[in-house]
Structures are given as C-alpha cells and as structure tokens.
Amino acid sequence: MIKKRALVFNWIVSQNIDLVCLQETHGTHYETGIWNREWKENGGGESFWNCGTNDSRGVGILLRKDFTHCFDISMIDNNGRIQIGEIKTNTAVYHIINLYTPNNDSDRKHFFENLKNLIDLYADDSTDHYNAFLGDFNCALDRKRDRAPSHQNENTGLKELKSLLLKFELNNIWRSKFPTNRRYSFQRGNSKS
C-alpha cells in the first residue's frame, strides 16, 4: 500500500492540481497521520482526513504544496462520509463538500435528505457562497447513460439527489462536457456504472 500511495501522490503532484478530494480512503486516525507525512514527502502540502475504518468509508482532501488560499475544515461527520472545507477570499467563501455516500438504498436516501438540511447552515449573506460537491454518490443520475446494462428502476435516493442539485444550482460537470459518452469508473462482472 505504501508504494500505491506513493504512486498516487506523485501523480497528483505531477499534475499540478491545487486540491484533490478522495473517497473510500479506508484508514484510521493513526494511518492518516502517516499519510499526512507521506503526502508531504512526495511533494504535497497540507492534507485533511475524515476516517471511517481501515476497511470502509473515509474521505480526504489534499492540497498542493504552494496552495495560496486560506483553507479550513468547517465540518466532518462521525462516519467518514462527509468533509466540508472552506476557501475564503475577500469576496467569497467556496465550500468544498467531499462526500462518500452510502451504498445501502435507505441509508443513501436519508444521507441526501440530511445533507440538504446541513448545507442550510450557510445562510450568511454578508458574502457570496459557492458550493462544490465532489465525491462518490453511489447513485446514477441517468440509468441509461450511467449504467450498463441499464437498470429497470431508478436508484433509491435519486429524487433526493436531484432535489439537492436543484436547490444549490449544481451541475454534473463531466456530463455537461460529455453529454452522450458512456464511461464507467466501477465494474463488477458485466455490471458497470
């Protein structure tokens, strides 16, 4: 695993990416202390982790070494599923919401319902607020384009996810850039999503 992390960390650094959100990090607080050191040794900057267990859940945010903006973690949950960071500028606050949504249908639906209420905490209108939701949603927005073979029924929680997208005027950036492409990040047997 050390070699795999080094490969991933080195690749991220080589891409000159300012901020990266990770999901399913599968680590404990002890391990994330080691990961902080390894990220810096491989050329990264600060890193922030919200642990699940060493075999499930967990999210992380990695910043590049010369990240120049003020960045703070404003909220984490107790399950290693949510991590919210803030980038503050003179004119705005950018909320980076890193998510790993449950696989279980009823848990996922409840997760999205709670998330919609959680983000209402940003009611301060003295500055502009922008939300970026990044992560693994475990839910296909379009079962025909985002799953192969296509499922007969929509994912449980899809209605709540779409409500969240509408409420915060969010856009699926990948789908906007590639409206007809069928590409998948998960495959098990003949099932892809």
pLDDT band at residue 20 under the 50/70/90 scheme:
very high
Preceding peptide of 102 cis, ω within 30°: no
Q: At what angle do helices 158-167 and 105-118 cross, to 10 degrees?
A: 20
DSSP 154: P
Each residue's pLDDT tens digit, 91-146: 899 999 999 999 888 898 888 888 877 666 565 667 788 889 899 988 888 888 88
Return the pLDDT at 135. Answer: 92
Pick the closest to residue 57 from 22, 14, 8, 107 (CA basis): 22
Which pTM does this prediction carry?
0.88
CB contact set of 156 (below 8 Å; sequence gap of 6+): 105, 106, 108, 109
| Architecture of the CATH domain 2-181 | 4-Layer Sandwich (3.60)
Return the pLDDT at 7. Answer: 93
Task: Tell me how far the alpha carbon of residue 118 is from its chain's centroid.
Answer: 16
Per the listing, tokens 């680590």 go with 27
Q: Is 136 annotated as a binding residue?
A: yes
If phi > 0 it is left, if psi is from -120 to 50 it is alpha, else beta; for residue 76 that is beta
Range list of H helices, the chain:
2-14, 29-41, 105-118, 143-146, 158-167, 173-177
Pick the closest to residue 59 from 70, 48, 46 (CA basis): 48
Exposed, middle or buried, 112 (CB in 10 Å: 0-12/13-18/19+)? buried
pLDDT at residue 12 greater than cutoff 90: yes
Q: Is 107 annotated as a binding residue?
A: no
Return the pLDDT at 120. Answer: 60
- Cβ proximity of 72 and 34 under 8 Å: no
Return the pLDDT at 124. Answer: 63
